[in-house]
């Protein structure tokens, strides 16, 4: 039954799915300006989910983030194209940041929609050069650092392209995703929507936000990466997978399912170590739209890890969150308490699976990490609840302006006159009293009197009572 079957079994996802459908339609409504139209059209073609999430951002910042994303996707296309000679690829990666200042530069490489992106890169360049100088500087700086980092991992052979150690794994994830988190933080600060601390002091937790997302993708994409043509590009670190098999290809053998799952769970455990920093970063965001933009992918990441844990389908097919579950995340997310509640939910689901993974060599460590995440989310939820109570108390204690008090008193007086003279009002309007007029009139008098007394108290005390 497909999508219809999902809705029938999860009726609470109907409204979120409808909301996401409308968001997807809005994402396809392109700007009139040709360069921007191309950029947002490409965004829809290469990442529909990101095209929806980016709508959370205000217009000026949204354009900068869109260009930032496409510049880095173009850089990534150069890195991913295994048909390019390393003698050409490495220098190009190192100088790619300069191409956004060259209105004529373009090339043919990559596959699918990325060919179109690279062949029409001057349109991206045109939009980039019309961005505020602060945005241009951030994008160029991150692109330069990312390109230089990617170049370090380009080699001539598939055997040499393996990530040897967890240290290398973390470094690669920093170059391709941690720098994205840092760059976005700098764009947020440059826009004035977040504090200046996001320009520098938040780089550590911003980097971990990127690492958490990238490691989730690397774990989930095992099958896609190992079957890539003309040769695989694998990022699982050898000092981890080497504990369980002689080669990464061995994990595809059904007879090796147990060591394959142990390796998978090992990497998931490693990724969970970034969760606390991710929560800390999101707790510091103050602009609601920026917050939602950052939080949605993070919730999807821990949801995906929960789906992948001890799941052999990672080695045979595609594992991802259901569209309805993703829609619910986007539909219900309002504040940091919602993030904590979502992380708590997925961490509890994950811990339940870990508890059943008898014989897994990392079971105890994974349980400890899950327990830590659960405790952190529970504590942060309590703090968020206390903060809301304090905010409500502060709002009640705040003085009510004299003009507001006078306006309330005037309205209360008008209402009480109406309530006590309602027969005269009906006669003046030529309206016959209803059958239950006596009861309704008494209710009106009671409500009007209560409102009047409240207005008098607020007028005298100068603050709200509730």
Q: What is the DSSP string of 323-355?
A: HHHHHHHHHH--SHHHHHHHHHHHHHHHHHHHH
Burial class (CB in 10 A: 0-12, 13-18, 19+), 157: exposed
Residue written as tokens 């170049």?
151
Residue 289 dihedral angles phi and psi, to the nearest 5°: -70, -40
Q: Write down the catalytic residue from 114, 128, 222, 293.
A: 293
Report d(CA 302, CA 220) in Å as an integer.
Answer: 12
User: What is the 3-state composition of the chain as percent helix, strand, coil, each rounded to the nearest 5?
Assistant: 75, 0, 25
> Could you say which of 153, 212, 220, 244 is catalytic?
220
Q: Do 331 and 15 meet the contact criterion of CB atoms below 8 Å apart?
A: yes
User: What is the phi/psi pair of residue 399, to 5°?
Assistant: -65, 140
| 220 classed as catalytic | yes
405 CB contacts (<8 Å, ≥6 apart)?
455, 458, 459, 462
d(CA 295, CA 291): 6
Active site residue: 40, 153, 172, 251, which one? Answer: 172
User: Pick the catalytic residue: 233, 322, 323, 332?
Assistant: 233
233 is catalytic: yes
For the chain, the residue count is 466
Verify whether residue 198 is a known catalytic residue: no
Distances (CA, A) of 224 to 47, 269, 459: 17, 21, 68
What is the token pair recorded at 355?
A: 């508890």
Please tell me the distance from the alpha carbon of residue 179 to that of residue 93, in angstroms, as a whole number: 15
**51: which residues sit within 8 A by CB, 6+ positions away?**
24, 27, 40, 43, 44
* Measured distance CA(140)–CA(143) in Å, rounded: 5
Give the pair of three-digit tokens for residue 190.
Answer: 């440059």
- List active site positions: 172, 220, 233, 293
């Amino acid at each position: 039954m497909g999508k219809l079957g999902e809705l029938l079994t999860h009726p609470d996802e109907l409204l979120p799915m409808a909301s996401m459908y409308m968001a997807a339609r809005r994402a396809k409504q392109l700007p009139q300006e040709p360069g921007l139209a191309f950029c947002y059209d490409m965004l829809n073609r290469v990442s529909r989910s990101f095209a929806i999430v980016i709508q959370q951002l205000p217009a000026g910042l949204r354009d900068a983030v869109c260009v930032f994303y496409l510049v880095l996707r173009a850089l990534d296309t150069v890195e991913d194209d295994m048909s390019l000679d390393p003698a050409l690829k490495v220098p190009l990666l190192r100088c790619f940041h300069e191409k956004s200042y060259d209105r004529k530069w373009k090339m043919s490489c990559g596959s699918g929609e990325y060919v179109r992106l690279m062949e029409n890169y001057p349109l991206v360049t045109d939009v980039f050069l019309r961005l505020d100088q602060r945005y241009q500087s951030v994008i160029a700086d991150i692109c330069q650092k990312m390109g230089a980092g990617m170049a370090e991992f380009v080699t001539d052979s598939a055997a040499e392209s393996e990530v040897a150690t967890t240290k290398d794994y973390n470094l690669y994830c920093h170059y391709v995703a941690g720098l994205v988190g840092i760059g976005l933080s700098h764009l947020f600060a440059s826009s004035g929507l977040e504090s200046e601390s996001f320009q520098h002091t938040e780089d550590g937790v911003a980097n971990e936000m990127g690492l958490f997302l990238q490691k989730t993708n690397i774990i989930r994409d095992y099958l896609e990466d190992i079957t890539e043509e003309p040769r695989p590009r694998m990022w699982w670190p050898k000092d981890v997978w080497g504990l369980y098999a002689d080669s990464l290809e061995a994990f595809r053998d059904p007879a090796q399912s147990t060591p394959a799952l142990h390796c998978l769970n090992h990497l998931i455990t490693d990724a969970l170590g970034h969760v606390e920093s991710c929560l800390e970063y999101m707790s510091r965001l103050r602009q609601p739209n920026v917050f939602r933009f950052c939080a949605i992918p993070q919730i999807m990441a821990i949801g995906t890890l929960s789906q992948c844990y001890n799941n052999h389908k990672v080695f045979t097919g595609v594992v991802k969150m259901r569209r309805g579950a993703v829609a619910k995340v986007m539909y219900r997310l309002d504040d940091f308490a919602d993030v904590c509640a979502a992380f708590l939910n997925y961490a509890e689901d994950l811990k339940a699976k870990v508890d059943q993974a008898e014989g897994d060599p990392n079971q105890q460590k994974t349980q400890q990490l899950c327990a830590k995440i659960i405790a952190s989310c529970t504590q942060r939820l309590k703090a968020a609840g206390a903060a809301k109570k304090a905010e409500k108390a502060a709002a009640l204690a705040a003085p009510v302006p004299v003009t507001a008090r006078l306006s309330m008193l005037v309205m209360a007086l008008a209402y009480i006159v109406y309530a006590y003279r309602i027969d005269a009002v009906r006669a003046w309007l030529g309206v016959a009293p209803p059958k239950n007029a006596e009861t309704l009139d008494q209710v009106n008098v009671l409500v009007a009197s209560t409102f009047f007394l409240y207005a008098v108290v607020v007028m005298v005390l100068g603050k709200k009572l509730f």
